[in-house]
Amino acid sequence: MRRPRSLRQLFVAGAGTIAVALALLTVGILVLFVSLRGSFERDVSAGLAEQRTADDIVTAVYGQLLAAYREVKEPSAPNRARYESLDSVAYGRLRQYLFQPMATDARIQVETIKELHQSLEVDAHQAFDRTGDAAAAAGRIVEMERHVTALDLAMRQFVVLRERERTLEQKDQLHALERSLAAIVVALIVLAVAGILFVRTVMRRVIVPLGQVSQAAVRLGGGELLARIPHQRDDELGLVALSFNDMADNIQAARAEIVDQNAALLGTLATLRQAQQELVQHEKLGAIGLMLAGLAHELNNPLAGLRGIAELLQQELGSHHDPAVRKIVRELVQPLVTEAQRAGSLVRNLLDFSRKAAAPDGPVPLAAAIGVAAGLRQHAFTQAGMTLDVEIADSLYVVAEAQRIEHVAMNIMSNALDAMLSGGGTRVQVRAAAVDGDWVLLTFDDDGPGFREPDRAFDPFYTTKELGSGTGLGLTLVHRFVAEVGGTVSVENLPDRGARVAIRLRAAVAPLRPAVAAHLEPRSVAGVGTAPGHTDATVLVVDDEPVLRDVQRRVLVREGVRVLTADSGAAAIAVLQRETCDLVVTDIRMPGEIDGVGLYQWIRREQPWLAERCLFVSGDIGEWANDPLLGTHPDRFLAKPFGRDEYVARIASLLARPDPATVALLG
């Protein structure tokens, strides 16, 4: 393929063509000048011809004079004919001047010559008329001679005039031509200089900048993103250069952006892969959770029965008079109770661990939630001779799930109690305050031994408790629950002694109507019998598990309570239709058409005064937490396996409430 000629080559070719054209033009002008000079020379020839004409006229006139003279001397036809012939020649030559362009002076001279010739002819005629009078004829001839002489002189003057006229005209023409030539030469010089300047200017302002643009374009096209066109003049090419540089900047920026986006995409991909892995893990955990939920439900009932029986044995035989029995209680029954508790705690933790994160309930009254946990752990602290000091303003609300806040508090309180039991310490202080406007800082300070390895406090299955005493999931769950609601948790050892667990939760605006959880006030763990006016209370225990039903019956009977039992919801309804009960303790999941929920609905409908005194027990309390009917009374749930003390405390707490029947009667 033929390579196109570059602009520079074309420009040089064009300039060369122009130069050649100028040269040819110059040659042409010179040729024209030479031609005009030839024309002048021809004018000179014309002058010579005019001179010859003048000579012819003068010669003819002199010939006429001679012929006239002969005619006068010797008249003859040939003489007269010759005279006439010369007359025609002279007059014919004179007429040639009539229509030639000439100056007025020369034309007047022609008229003078013509008139002299006319006078000469008249003289000739008069001489011819007087051939008989020789003297008269001679006189006319003399007159003729005078006219001929005058004509000759006039003719010479005419020639001089014409010569001068032609000379002046030629000079004028020559001067005009010289001026024209000079002007042309000057024009050519100016044109040549202008051409050189033009070429130079075009080279500097067009060709070179275009080359720079071309080079920069090639470099940029080759991937050299830093290629730029040097600064140029403020003209079209300068604008092109600026546009090109802007384009290169844009390309460079776009490329950097693409690189960044690629990095971001790679990061996103990694995150996606991680999320995918987490999702897979969640799916696994979800499956495990399902399995654990079923397992927990199945385990909690026997564990509850086992724990209840063990605690009954411990209570029945702990004060036995036989030391051997008390030794058996101390060595066999007490561990049985402890292990049952531990098994229950493990099942609960596993259940919590497997539960999916639920959306925060919204505004949670922090004082109430912490109060529930404190109420549950207060008895243990008291029994250990320690103090659980809770002081939280009612105005503080946090964005969280109430039960999880309770669980978190329970975990931290339990950990602190366990740590102080083993490492010394007497007091746990729980405080909360609004910080940074949108946050609430909840702190648990104890004066125990502190964390051995604070950095590992949240590691799963990390525990410093004795083997078999902890699951290692407590603080891990705390961290998870707090993180799921957008908060943070940290642990540290206090300067002198003790440890601090600090939780930052997002502050919430207080709802117009206090949450149901507000009913969760700290409860006493005193026995049922200590509840005023209820030592003769009648409690209906409904559970499909005979062992659990019997254990509960035994515990309550020992508390001086009259206990009725039913193994199903339908049986319970039959009992309630027949007997007056002060409180109903019912399992939620039971076989048959009426489970615990159905029983509660019947109670609310048929014996509404008893609805406030229903305590629900279940192997999976979390399963019912979001129930629209039961979820409004979280303080009336008790998760299996429960301990005797907790169970009795809940019964006592409910029985301590005003008699619903009385309330109903009083209106």
Partner 1 sequence: MTLRLGIAAVVVGLLLLTCTSSAPIHIGVMVSADAVAGGQLAVAEINATGGIRGRALALVHIGRLDGTLAEPALEAAESLTADPAVIAVIGHSSSSASLSASQIYNARHIVQVAPTSSSPLLDRSGPFTFRLVASDVHQARYIAALVAAGGATQRTAVVYVNDDYGRALRDELRSQLARAGVPIVYEGSYVENEPLGDVPAFASAIAAPGSTLLIWLGRSPQLGELLPVLRTRIPAITILGSDGVDNLDTELNADGRFTGVRFVCFVDVHGERLKLRAFRERFGAIHGNQLSPEAVLTYDAMILLATAARAVGPKPEAIREYLVSLGRTRPAFTGASREFSFDSTGAPPPSYCLGEVTPTGARVISTVNGP
Binding flag, residue 98, partner 1 (CB under 8 A): yes
Which pairing describes strands 538-542 and 562-566: parallel, antiparallel, or unpaired? Answer: parallel
Alpha helices of 559-667 — where are they, by DSSP H?
569-578, 596-606, 621-624, 644-655, 660-666
User: In a 3-state reduction of DSSP, which class is residue 322?
Assistant: coil
User: Under the criterion CB under 8 A, does residue 96 sit at the interface with partner 1?
Assistant: no
User: Which of residues 8, 73, 107, 219 is near partner 1 by CB under 8 A?
Assistant: 107
Kindly tell me which residue out of 26, 53, 59, 119 binds partner 1, with binding defined by CB under 8 A: 119
Binding-residue total with partner 1 (CB under 8 A) = 23
* Paired tokens of 5: 């000629």
User: Binding of partner 1 at residue 77 (CB under 8 A)?
Assistant: no
Q: Which stretch in 6-14, 16-24, 130-138, 188-196 sits in contact with partner 1 by CB under 8 A?
A: 130-138
Cα separation, 172 vs 544, in Å, equals 147
| Bridge partners (DSSP) listed for residue 441 | 433, 504
Q: What are phi and psi of 321, to 5 degrees?
A: -75, -20
* Cβ-Cβ contacts under 8 Å for 4 (sequence gap 6 or more): none
C-alpha to C-alpha distance for 560 and 175, rounded to whole angstroms: 154
Q: Return the residue of 96, 118, 167, 426 that touches partner 1, per CB under 8 A.
A: 118
Candidate segments 122-130, 226-234, 427-435, 642-650, binder of partner 1 by CB under 8 A: 122-130
Per-residue x/- marks for partner 1, 26-55, CB under 8 A? ------------------------------
The least distance separating partner 1 from the CB of residue 179, rounded to whole angstroms, comes to 24
Q: Is 85 in the site for partner 1 (CB under 8 A)?
A: no
Q: Two tokens at 75?
A: 């008249």
Q: How far is the CB of 22 from partner 1 (least distance, A)?
A: 34
- Is residue 129 at the binding interface for partner 1, with CB under 8 A as the rule? yes
Q: How far is Cα 119 from Cα 61, in angstroms, rounded to an integer?
A: 12
Give me the least distance between CB of 193 and partner 1, in Å please.
31
By CB under 8 A, is residue 136 in contact with partner 1? yes
Q: Report if residue 287 touches partner 1, rule: CB under 8 A.
A: no
- Give the pair of three-digit tokens for residue 88: 């025609």
Q: Establish if 439 lies at the interface with partner 1 (CB under 8 A).
A: no
Q: How far is the CB of 157 from partner 1 (least distance, A)?
A: 14
The yes or no reply on residue 99 touching partner 1 (CB under 8 A) is: yes
- Tell me whether residue 136 or residue 343 sits nearer to partner 1 (CB atom): 136
Stretch that binds partner 1, among 70-78, 129-137, 174-182, 588-596 (CB under 8 A): 129-137
x/- site string to partner 1, residues 326 to 365, per CB under 8 A? ----------------------------------------
CA dist 341 to 168, 218, 334, 347, Å?
Answer: 147, 81, 11, 10
Write b or e for each residue in 306-331: b if 16 or more Cβ atoms lie within 10 A of its Cβ, otherwise e. Answer: bbbbbbbbbbebeeeeeeeeeeebee
Q: By C-beta, is 85 or 112 nearer to partner 1?
A: 112
User: Is 130 a binder of partner 1 (CB under 8 A)?
Assistant: yes
Segment interacting with partner 1 (CB under 8 A) among 111-119, 191-199, 283-291, 653-661 = 111-119
Ranges of H-type helices in 425-487: 474-484
Should residue 168 be labelled a site residue for partner 1 when binding is judged by CB under 8 A? Answer: no
Site membership for partner 1, residue 101 (CB under 8 A): yes
Choose which of 26, 53, 85, 126 interacts with partner 1 (CB under 8 A): 126
32-63 burial by CB neighbour count: b if 16+ within 10 A, else e? eeeebeeebeeeeeebeebeebbeebbebbbb
Three-state SS for 139? helix
Contact call for residues 380 and 345 (beta carbons, < 8 A): no
What CA–CA distance (Å, rounded) separates 526 from 653? 9
> What is the SS3 assignment for 642?
coil
Choose the stretch contacting partner 1; rule: CB under 8 A; options: 30-38, 102-110, 217-225, 322-330: 102-110
Counting beta carbons within 10 angstroms of the beta carbon of residue 97, is it exposed (0 to 12), middle (13 to 18) or buried (19 or more)?
A: buried
Q: How many CA atoms lie within 13 A of 593 on its CB side?
A: 4
User: Sheet harboring 488-493: ordered strands across?
Assistant: 387-391, 427-435, 439-446, 499-506, 488-493
The beta strand positions in 106-148, using DSSP E, are: none
Question: Of residues 5, 37, 42, 95, which one binds partner 1 by CB under 8 A?
Answer: 95
Task: Please report whether residue 80 would count as binding partner 1 according to CB under 8 A.
Answer: no
State in angstroms the smallest separation of the CB of 130 from partner 1. Answer: 6
Q: Which residue's CB is nearer to partner 1, number 108 or number 264?
A: 108
315 scored as a contact of partner 1 (CB under 8 A): no
The least distance separating partner 1 from the CB of residue 141, rounded to whole angstroms, comes to: 15
> CB of residue 128 vs partner 1: minimum separation in angstroms?
8
Which of 26, 53, 112, 443 touches partner 1 (CB under 8 A)? 112
Chain residues 443-502 in contact with partner 1, contact rule CB under 8 A? none
Closest to 167 measured CA to CA, from 275, 325, 43: 43
Q: Is 104 a residue that touches partner 1 (CB under 8 A)?
A: yes
Q: Which of 108, 185, 186, 259 binds partner 1 (CB under 8 A)?
A: 108
Contact set with partner 1 (CB under 8 A):
91, 95, 98-99, 101, 104, 107-108, 110-112, 114-115, 118-119, 121-122, 125-126, 129-130, 133, 136
